[in-house]
Structure 1
Protein backbone atom coordinates (compact mmCIF):
# COMPACT_ATOMS: atom_id res chain seq x y z
CA UNK A 1 0.00 0.00 0.00
CA UNK A 2 2.82 2.38 0.88
CA UNK A 3 4.43 1.67 -2.50
CA UNK A 4 1.18 2.64 -4.25
CA UNK A 5 1.01 5.89 -2.27
CA UNK A 6 4.62 6.60 -3.16
CA UNK A 7 3.95 5.97 -6.87
CA UNK A 8 0.93 8.30 -6.80
CA UNK A 9 3.00 10.99 -5.04
CA UNK A 10 5.77 10.76 -7.62
CA UNK A 11 3.23 10.80 -10.45
CA UNK A 12 1.51 13.91 -9.08
CA UNK A 13 4.87 15.60 -8.60
CA UNK A 14 5.84 14.91 -12.20
CA UNK A 15 2.46 16.07 -13.45
CA UNK A 16 2.80 19.28 -11.42
CA UNK A 17 6.23 19.88 -12.86
CA UNK A 18 4.90 19.21 -16.36
CA UNK A 19 2.06 21.68 -15.92
CA UNK A 20 4.46 24.25 -14.48
CA UNK A 21 6.79 23.87 -17.45
CA UNK A 22 3.86 24.03 -19.86
CA UNK A 23 2.54 27.21 -18.25
CA UNK A 24 5.97 28.81 -18.37
CA UNK A 25 6.42 27.82 -22.01
CA UNK A 26 3.05 29.28 -22.94
CA UNK A 27 3.87 32.51 -21.11
CA UNK A 28 7.24 32.84 -22.82
CA UNK A 29 5.71 32.06 -26.21
CA UNK A 30 3.01 34.69 -25.77
CA UNK A 31 5.59 37.25 -24.63
CA UNK A 32 7.76 36.54 -27.66
CA UNK A 33 4.82 36.96 -30.06
CA UNK A 34 3.83 40.27 -28.46
CA UNK A 35 7.42 41.51 -28.60
CA UNK A 36 7.75 40.69 -32.30
CA UNK A 37 4.39 42.34 -33.08
CA UNK A 38 5.41 45.45 -31.16
CA UNK A 39 8.71 45.62 -33.00
CA UNK A 40 6.97 45.24 -36.36
CA UNK A 41 4.50 48.02 -35.58
CA UNK A 42 7.08 50.36 -34.11
CA UNK A 43 9.58 49.80 -36.91
CA UNK A 44 7.84 48.68 -40.12
CA UNK A 45 10.31 46.94 -42.39
CA UNK A 46 10.30 48.10 -46.00
CA UNK A 47 11.24 45.25 -48.28
CA UNK A 48 12.49 45.91 -51.76
CA UNK A 49 10.76 44.05 -54.56
CA UNK A 50 14.00 42.27 -55.50
CA UNK A 51 14.18 40.65 -52.06
CA UNK A 52 10.81 38.98 -52.40
CA UNK A 53 11.62 36.35 -54.98
CA UNK A 54 10.73 33.66 -52.45
CA UNK A 55 7.29 35.14 -51.67
CA UNK A 56 4.24 33.20 -52.82
CA UNK A 57 3.62 33.56 -56.51
CA UNK A 58 0.05 34.69 -55.88
CA UNK A 59 1.23 37.76 -53.97
CA UNK A 60 3.52 38.78 -56.79
CA UNK A 61 0.73 38.31 -59.33
CA UNK A 62 -1.68 40.46 -57.33
CA UNK A 63 0.85 43.26 -56.83
CA UNK A 64 3.59 43.07 -59.46
CA UNK A 65 6.34 45.66 -59.25
CA UNK A 66 5.39 46.72 -55.72
CA UNK A 67 7.57 47.55 -52.81
CA UNK A 68 6.25 45.85 -49.70
CA UNK A 69 5.62 46.78 -46.09
CA UNK A 70 5.98 44.14 -43.37
CA UNK A 71 3.21 45.11 -40.97
CA UNK A 72 1.17 43.07 -38.50
CA UNK A 73 3.14 39.96 -39.55
CA UNK A 74 1.84 40.38 -43.10
CA UNK A 75 3.58 41.50 -46.26
CA UNK A 76 1.52 44.39 -47.64
CA UNK A 77 2.08 45.99 -51.07
CA UNK A 78 2.64 49.75 -51.15
CA UNK A 79 0.32 50.91 -53.90
CA UNK A 80 1.44 53.71 -56.20
CA UNK A 81 -0.55 55.17 -59.08
CA UNK A 82 0.02 58.09 -61.39
CA UNK A 83 -1.40 60.03 -64.31
CA UNK A 84 0.21 62.17 -67.00
CA UNK A 85 -1.92 65.24 -67.67
CA UNK A 86 -2.29 66.66 -71.17
CA UNK A 87 -4.31 69.54 -72.59
CA UNK A 88 -7.76 69.08 -74.06
CA UNK A 89 -6.91 70.51 -77.48
CA UNK A 90 -4.56 69.77 -80.33
CA UNK A 91 -2.60 73.00 -79.77
CA UNK A 92 -1.23 71.79 -76.46
CA UNK A 93 -1.81 73.90 -73.39
CA UNK A 94 -1.70 72.81 -69.76
CA UNK A 95 0.05 69.61 -68.76
CA UNK A 96 1.57 67.94 -65.77
CA UNK A 97 1.61 64.85 -63.60
CA UNK A 98 0.08 63.45 -60.44
CA UNK A 99 1.30 60.66 -58.16
CA UNK A 100 -0.86 58.78 -55.65
CA UNK A 101 0.47 56.59 -52.80
CA UNK A 102 -1.42 54.48 -50.27
CA UNK A 103 0.18 52.08 -47.78
CA UNK A 104 -2.93 50.23 -46.59
CA UNK A 105 -6.66 50.39 -47.25
CA UNK A 106 -7.10 52.32 -44.01
CA UNK A 107 -4.50 55.00 -44.71
CA UNK A 108 -5.15 58.30 -46.51
CA UNK A 109 -3.90 58.66 -50.06
CA UNK A 110 -0.87 60.92 -50.43
CA UNK A 111 -1.20 63.07 -53.56
CA UNK A 112 1.58 64.96 -55.34
CA UNK A 113 0.18 67.13 -58.15
CA UNK A 114 2.16 69.36 -60.53
CA UNK A 115 0.56 71.28 -63.40
CA UNK A 116 1.94 73.89 -65.81
CA UNK A 117 0.35 76.16 -68.42
CA UNK A 118 -2.66 77.17 -66.31
CA UNK A 119 -4.17 80.63 -66.11
CA UNK A 120 -3.32 82.25 -62.77
CA UNK A 121 -5.85 81.58 -60.02
CA UNK A 122 -7.78 78.63 -58.66
CA UNK A 123 -8.81 75.59 -60.68
CA UNK A 124 -11.06 72.72 -59.64
CA UNK A 125 -9.64 69.20 -59.72
CA UNK A 126 -11.95 66.21 -60.05
CA UNK A 127 -11.75 62.46 -60.41
CA UNK A 128 -13.93 61.50 -63.38
CA UNK A 129 -15.79 58.26 -63.88
CA UNK A 130 -13.89 56.77 -66.82
CA UNK A 131 -10.27 56.40 -67.82
CA UNK A 132 -11.22 56.93 -71.45
CA UNK A 133 -9.42 59.45 -73.65
CA UNK A 134 -10.74 58.30 -77.04
CA UNK A 135 -12.33 61.73 -77.46
CA UNK A 136 -9.69 63.52 -75.43
CA UNK A 137 -10.93 64.76 -72.05
CA UNK A 138 -14.56 64.79 -73.20
CA UNK A 139 -14.86 61.01 -72.86
CA UNK A 140 -13.78 60.88 -69.21
CA UNK A 141 -17.44 60.96 -68.18
CA UNK A 142 -19.02 62.67 -65.19
CA UNK A 143 -17.49 63.54 -61.85
CA UNK A 144 -16.86 60.42 -59.76
CA UNK A 145 -18.55 61.76 -56.65
CA UNK A 146 -17.25 59.13 -54.24
CA UNK A 147 -13.94 60.96 -54.25
CA UNK A 148 -12.78 64.43 -53.31
CA UNK A 149 -9.75 66.50 -54.20
CA UNK A 150 -10.64 70.22 -54.38
CA UNK A 151 -8.97 73.32 -55.82
CA UNK A 152 -5.41 74.10 -56.77
CA UNK A 153 -4.08 77.62 -57.25
CA UNK A 154 -1.79 78.50 -60.14
CA UNK A 155 0.86 81.17 -59.74
CA UNK A 156 1.42 84.04 -62.15
CA UNK A 157 3.68 81.81 -64.23
CA UNK A 158 0.87 79.26 -64.62
CA UNK A 159 2.36 76.57 -62.39
CA UNK A 160 0.68 74.79 -59.50
CA UNK A 161 2.37 72.29 -57.20
CA UNK A 162 0.70 70.73 -54.17
CA UNK A 163 1.21 67.70 -51.94
CA UNK A 164 -1.35 66.56 -49.39
CA UNK A 165 -2.95 63.49 -47.80
CA UNK A 166 -6.65 62.94 -48.45
CA UNK A 167 -8.94 60.60 -46.47
CA UNK A 168 -11.55 61.01 -49.23
CA UNK A 169 -9.61 59.02 -51.83
CA UNK A 170 -8.90 55.31 -52.18
CA UNK A 171 -6.75 53.64 -54.81
CA UNK A 172 -8.49 50.25 -54.76
CA UNK A 173 -11.85 48.79 -53.82
CA UNK A 174 -15.37 49.81 -54.92
CA UNK A 175 -14.46 53.50 -54.60
CA UNK A 176 -10.99 53.10 -56.07
CA UNK A 177 -9.70 55.72 -58.48
CA UNK A 178 -7.26 53.49 -60.40
CA UNK A 179 -8.55 53.17 -63.95
CA UNK A 180 -10.45 56.44 -63.75
CA UNK A 181 -9.18 59.89 -64.74
CA UNK A 182 -8.05 63.09 -63.08
CA UNK A 183 -9.17 66.35 -64.69
CA UNK A 184 -8.33 70.01 -64.12
CA UNK A 185 -11.12 72.51 -64.81
CA UNK A 186 -11.11 76.13 -65.96
CA UNK A 187 -12.75 77.48 -62.81
CA UNK A 188 -12.59 76.65 -59.09
CA UNK A 189 -15.09 74.44 -57.31
CA UNK A 190 -17.50 76.60 -55.32
CA UNK A 191 -17.28 74.87 -51.98
CA UNK A 192 -18.94 77.12 -49.44
CA UNK A 193 -17.71 75.08 -46.48
CA UNK A 194 -14.27 74.02 -47.66
CA UNK A 195 -12.89 76.33 -50.38
CA UNK A 196 -9.41 74.91 -50.84
CA UNK A 197 -7.69 71.62 -51.43
CA UNK A 198 -7.59 68.98 -48.68
CA UNK A 199 -10.03 70.90 -46.46
CA UNK A 200 -12.98 68.87 -45.17
CA UNK A 201 -16.59 69.97 -44.63
CA UNK A 202 -18.08 69.75 -41.18
CA UNK A 203 -21.13 67.73 -42.17
CA UNK A 204 -19.59 65.42 -44.75
CA UNK A 205 -21.45 62.25 -45.66
CA UNK A 206 -19.45 59.06 -45.82
CA UNK A 207 -20.80 57.86 -49.15
CA UNK A 208 -20.86 61.27 -50.87
CA UNK A 209 -18.26 63.76 -49.68
CA UNK A 210 -19.06 66.38 -52.32
CA UNK A 211 -21.79 68.93 -51.55
CA UNK A 212 -25.08 68.47 -53.46
CA UNK A 213 -24.49 70.93 -56.30
CA UNK A 214 -24.01 70.69 -60.05
CA UNK A 215 -20.29 71.28 -59.98
CA UNK A 216 -19.69 70.36 -63.61
CA UNK A 217 -21.81 73.33 -64.68
CA UNK A 218 -19.88 75.72 -62.44
CA UNK A 219 -16.26 74.73 -62.94
CA UNK A 220 -16.24 75.26 -66.70
CA UNK A 221 -14.50 73.14 -69.28
CA UNK A 222 -11.63 70.72 -68.79
CA UNK A 223 -8.18 72.14 -69.49
CA UNK A 224 -6.13 69.01 -68.73
CA UNK A 225 -6.74 65.34 -67.95
CA UNK A 226 -5.01 62.00 -67.57
CA UNK A 227 -5.80 58.34 -66.88
CA UNK A 228 -4.84 57.02 -63.43
CA UNK A 229 -2.85 53.79 -63.71
CA UNK A 230 -0.83 51.54 -61.40
CA UNK A 231 2.84 52.37 -61.73
CA UNK A 232 6.12 50.99 -60.46
CA UNK A 233 6.56 51.95 -56.83
CA UNK A 234 10.30 52.63 -56.98
CA UNK A 235 11.37 56.22 -57.52
Structure 2
Protein backbone atom coordinates (compact mmCIF):
# COMPACT_ATOMS: atom_id res chain seq x y z
CA UNK A 1 0.00 0.00 0.00
CA UNK A 2 2.84 2.41 0.74
CA UNK A 3 4.27 1.90 -2.75
CA UNK A 4 0.98 2.90 -4.35
CA UNK A 5 0.69 6.04 -2.22
CA UNK A 6 4.29 6.96 -2.99
CA UNK A 7 3.70 6.44 -6.71
CA UNK A 8 0.59 8.59 -6.69
CA UNK A 9 2.44 11.28 -4.74
CA UNK A 10 5.16 11.40 -7.41
CA UNK A 11 2.74 11.91 -10.34
CA UNK A 12 2.43 15.73 -9.90
CA UNK A 13 6.22 16.00 -9.62
CA UNK A 14 6.75 14.06 -12.84
CA UNK A 15 4.32 16.26 -14.77
CA UNK A 16 5.78 19.46 -13.31
CA UNK A 17 9.20 18.49 -14.66
CA UNK A 18 7.93 18.32 -18.24
CA UNK A 19 10.34 20.50 -20.26
CA UNK A 20 7.81 21.43 -22.93
CA UNK A 21 6.15 24.75 -22.17
CA UNK A 22 4.40 27.40 -24.19
CA UNK A 23 6.02 30.17 -22.13
CA UNK A 24 9.66 29.06 -21.97
CA UNK A 25 12.29 27.03 -23.75
CA UNK A 26 15.98 26.30 -23.29
CA UNK A 27 18.92 27.23 -25.48
CA UNK A 28 21.66 24.82 -26.65
CA UNK A 29 23.41 25.12 -23.27
CA UNK A 30 20.25 24.36 -21.27
CA UNK A 31 19.69 27.96 -20.15
CA UNK A 32 16.03 28.76 -19.62
CA UNK A 33 14.73 31.33 -22.14
CA UNK A 34 11.48 33.23 -21.64
CA UNK A 35 9.11 33.76 -24.54
CA UNK A 36 8.83 37.34 -25.70
CA UNK A 37 5.35 38.81 -25.24
CA UNK A 38 3.90 41.99 -26.67
CA UNK A 39 0.95 44.23 -25.93
CA UNK A 40 -0.42 47.47 -27.34
CA UNK A 41 -2.83 50.25 -26.42
CA UNK A 42 -4.22 52.24 -29.34
CA UNK A 43 -5.07 55.67 -27.98
CA UNK A 44 -8.36 57.25 -29.01
CA UNK A 45 -9.42 60.86 -28.37
CA UNK A 46 -11.56 61.65 -25.31
CA UNK A 47 -13.13 64.80 -23.88
CA UNK A 48 -13.30 66.48 -27.30
CA UNK A 49 -9.55 66.32 -27.92
CA UNK A 50 -7.60 65.35 -31.05
CA UNK A 51 -5.37 62.90 -29.14
CA UNK A 52 -4.24 59.70 -30.86
CA UNK A 53 -1.28 57.37 -30.78
CA UNK A 54 0.10 54.04 -29.75
CA UNK A 55 1.64 52.71 -26.57
CA UNK A 56 3.52 49.46 -27.13
CA UNK A 57 4.85 47.02 -24.57
CA UNK A 58 7.46 44.30 -25.03
CA UNK A 59 8.32 41.76 -22.34
CA UNK A 60 11.63 39.97 -22.57
CA UNK A 61 13.76 38.34 -19.87
CA UNK A 62 11.46 39.51 -17.06
CA UNK A 63 11.50 43.17 -18.10
CA UNK A 64 8.71 45.11 -19.81
CA UNK A 65 9.64 48.01 -22.06
CA UNK A 66 7.03 50.67 -22.80
CA UNK A 67 7.25 52.98 -25.80
CA UNK A 68 4.61 55.67 -26.21
CA UNK A 69 4.08 58.03 -29.13
CA UNK A 70 1.07 60.29 -28.69
CA UNK A 71 -0.06 62.93 -31.21
CA UNK A 72 -2.46 65.86 -31.15
CA UNK A 73 -1.28 67.26 -27.82
CA UNK A 74 -0.66 70.87 -26.89
CA UNK A 75 2.99 71.76 -26.16
CA UNK A 76 4.04 71.11 -22.57
CA UNK A 77 3.68 68.17 -20.18
CA UNK A 78 0.84 65.64 -20.24
CA UNK A 79 0.42 62.88 -17.66
CA UNK A 80 0.32 59.25 -18.79
CA UNK A 81 -0.93 56.55 -16.42
CA UNK A 82 -2.12 52.96 -16.36
CA UNK A 83 -5.74 52.83 -15.14
CA UNK A 84 -7.48 49.87 -13.55
CA UNK A 85 -10.11 49.03 -16.21
CA UNK A 86 -9.54 48.26 -19.87
CA UNK A 87 -12.71 50.16 -20.75
CA UNK A 88 -12.51 53.32 -22.86
CA UNK A 89 -16.21 53.47 -23.74
CA UNK A 90 -17.01 56.72 -21.89
CA UNK A 91 -16.57 59.98 -23.83
CA UNK A 92 -14.53 61.37 -20.94
CA UNK A 93 -12.48 58.20 -20.37
CA UNK A 94 -13.80 57.73 -16.84
CA UNK A 95 -14.92 54.17 -17.62
CA UNK A 96 -11.21 53.25 -17.24
CA UNK A 97 -11.57 53.82 -13.48
CA UNK A 98 -8.82 55.13 -11.25
CA UNK A 99 -5.10 54.56 -11.42
CA UNK A 100 -4.03 50.93 -11.39
CA UNK A 101 -2.70 50.56 -7.85
CA UNK A 102 -2.99 46.90 -6.78
CA UNK A 103 -0.60 47.32 -3.84
CA UNK A 104 -2.33 50.44 -2.40
CA UNK A 105 0.68 52.74 -2.54
CA UNK A 106 0.58 56.53 -2.51
CA UNK A 107 0.66 58.29 -5.88
CA UNK A 108 4.06 59.66 -6.83
CA UNK A 109 6.83 59.87 -9.39
CA UNK A 110 7.92 56.65 -11.10
CA UNK A 111 11.08 55.25 -9.50
CA UNK A 112 11.01 57.58 -6.50
CA UNK A 113 9.10 55.93 -3.62
CA UNK A 114 6.34 56.18 -2.78
CA UNK A 115 4.72 55.52 -6.14
CA UNK A 116 2.38 52.89 -7.53
CA UNK A 117 2.65 50.71 -10.64
CA UNK A 118 0.14 52.84 -12.57
CA UNK A 119 2.29 55.97 -12.21
CA UNK A 120 4.20 56.32 -15.46
CA UNK A 121 5.00 60.02 -15.59
CA UNK A 122 4.66 62.84 -18.11
CA UNK A 123 4.96 63.04 -21.85
CA UNK A 124 6.98 66.09 -22.92
CA UNK A 125 5.41 67.63 -26.01
CA UNK A 126 7.07 70.10 -28.35
CA UNK A 127 5.67 72.38 -31.04
CA UNK A 128 5.10 69.32 -33.27
CA UNK A 129 2.27 68.20 -30.89
CA UNK A 130 3.93 64.79 -30.37
CA UNK A 131 4.88 63.33 -27.01
CA UNK A 132 7.07 60.28 -26.50
CA UNK A 133 8.10 58.26 -23.49
CA UNK A 134 10.14 55.07 -22.99
CA UNK A 135 11.00 53.14 -19.87
CA UNK A 136 11.80 49.59 -18.80
CA UNK A 137 10.66 47.85 -15.62
CA UNK A 138 10.36 44.51 -13.86
CA UNK A 139 7.25 45.78 -12.01
CA UNK A 140 4.94 44.77 -14.91
CA UNK A 141 4.30 41.63 -16.94
CA UNK A 142 2.21 40.81 -19.99
CA UNK A 143 -0.34 38.09 -19.30
CA UNK A 144 1.30 36.55 -16.24
CA UNK A 145 -0.73 35.22 -13.31
CA UNK A 146 0.43 37.92 -10.87
CA UNK A 147 -2.46 40.41 -10.55
CA UNK A 148 -0.05 42.95 -9.02
CA UNK A 149 2.03 42.97 -12.23
CA UNK A 150 -0.19 41.94 -15.17
CA UNK A 151 -0.97 44.96 -17.39
CA UNK A 152 -3.38 43.18 -19.76
CA UNK A 153 -6.97 44.37 -19.40
CA UNK A 154 -5.89 47.75 -18.03
CA UNK A 155 -6.01 51.09 -19.88
CA UNK A 156 -3.55 53.82 -20.75
CA UNK A 157 -4.90 57.29 -20.03
CA UNK A 158 -3.42 60.52 -21.36
CA UNK A 159 -4.34 63.64 -19.35
CA UNK A 160 -4.71 67.25 -20.44
CA UNK A 161 -2.18 68.51 -17.89
CA UNK A 162 0.98 67.39 -16.15
CA UNK A 163 1.19 65.02 -13.21
CA UNK A 164 2.41 67.00 -10.19
CA UNK A 165 3.65 63.72 -8.63
CA UNK A 166 2.23 64.58 -5.22
CA UNK A 167 -1.55 65.24 -5.28
CA UNK A 168 -3.50 62.20 -4.12
CA UNK A 169 -4.70 59.95 -5.52
CA UNK A 170 -3.83 60.86 -9.12
CA UNK A 171 -1.47 63.81 -9.54
CA UNK A 172 -4.03 66.54 -10.36
CA UNK A 173 -3.45 66.03 -14.10
CA UNK A 174 -6.84 67.24 -15.30
CA UNK A 175 -9.30 65.75 -17.81
CA UNK A 176 -8.66 62.49 -19.62
CA UNK A 177 -8.00 63.34 -23.27
CA UNK A 178 -6.90 59.93 -24.56
CA UNK A 179 -7.61 56.31 -23.69
CA UNK A 180 -6.55 52.90 -24.99
CA UNK A 181 -7.09 49.38 -23.66
CA UNK A 182 -3.92 47.32 -23.17
CA UNK A 183 -4.33 44.11 -25.18
CA UNK A 184 -1.93 41.36 -26.15
CA UNK A 185 -0.40 41.77 -29.57
CA UNK A 186 1.24 39.10 -31.71
CA UNK A 187 3.25 41.53 -33.85
CA UNK A 188 5.01 44.68 -32.71
Q: Quick check: TM above 0.5?
A: yes
Q: Which runs of 5+ in 2 are unaligned?
A: 1-18, 102-115
Partner of 1:140: 96
Higher relative contact order (CA 8 A, sep 6+): 2
Rounded Cα–Cα distance in structure 1 between residues aligned with 2:163 and 2:53: 20
Aligned counterparts, 1:121-160, within 5 A: 121-136=76-91, 137-145=93-101, 146-147=116-117, 148-160=119-131
Please report the TM-score for the alignment, with normalisation by the length of structure 1: 0.56
CA contact (8 A) 1:87 1:224 kept: yes
Root mean square deviation, CA, Å: 2.4
Partner of 1:28: none
Match of 2:147 among 157, 174, 197: 174
Q: Which has the higher helix share?
A: 1
Report whether the alignment pairs 1:76 with 2:39: no
Specify the structure having the higher radius of gyration (Cα).
1
Please report the TM-score for the alignment, with normalisation by the length of structure 2: 0.69
Q: Which runs of 5+ in 1 are unaligned?
A: 1-54, 192-210
SS class of match (1:187): coil
4+ aligned runs moved over 4 Å, structure 1: none
Aligned counterparts, 1:27-106, within 5 A: 56=20, 59=22, 70=26, 73-89=31-47, 93-104=50-61
Q: Which has the higher strand share?
A: 2
Query: Structure 1's 121 and 134: CA in aligned 2 closer, same or farther, altered over 3 A?
Result: same
CA contact (8 A) 2:160 2:174 kept: yes
